[in-house]
Amino acid sequence: SIPVFEGLVPDHNKQIFGLLFDLCTFHCLAKFRLHSEDSLHMLDEWTTELGRSLRNFDDQVCKVYNTKEIPKETAARGRRNAQKSSTEKSKGKRKAVDTEPAHKSFNLSTYKIHALGHYVQFIHLYGTTDNYTTQIV
């Protein structure tokens, strides 16, 4: 996927390629079906590097761009707000539904990003994901 991003954002190519490389490396290491102490140590080091790259991307790249919702998200938000305002028992005038795209920014404070730091610990505790199933028996 890295060639797709080449030249897309010329001012920040270095940061974007660094992040993509770290994401690919982390993904490859995390997918191993068999881990040794050395491979887990390497995964732990790349997790730290990935965290640095994500923070660097957030600080240096995301702050520069004014990103907004896509039209589908704006429409969905408008429908939710319209539904909410129609069900409220309010007296007087109803609030106008905002149809402008809302500002969206990259959020490092999500569970998915937080959980990346626990991969090595989870592999130590439970093994690789091909060793167990969540299927009800």
Sorted by sequence, the CB contacts under 8 Å of residue 13 that are 6+ apart come out as 5, 6, 7
Q: Where are the domains of the chain?
A: 1-67+107-137, 68-104
pTM for the structure as a whole: 0.78
AA identity, residue 51: G
User: The tokens of 125 are what?
Assistant: 């505790």
- Mean pLDDT, range 3-9, rounded to an integer: 86
pLDDT in tens, 87-102: 776 555 556 666 789 9
User: The tokens of 108 are what?
Assistant: 């490092």
CB 101 within 8 A of CB 7: no
Q: Please list the residues that pair with 68 across neighbouring strands.
A: 103
CA distance 100 to 97: 9
User: The tokens of 69 are what?
Assistant: 């919702």
Cα 14 to chain centroid distance, Å, stands at: 19
pLDDT in tens, 16-57: 999 999 999 999 999 999 999 999 999 999 999 999 999 999
User: The tokens of 79 are what?
Assistant: 């429908």
- Which pLDDT score is estimated for 94? 59
CA distance 99 to 134: 42
What values do phi and psi take at 110, rounded to 5?
A: -110, 160
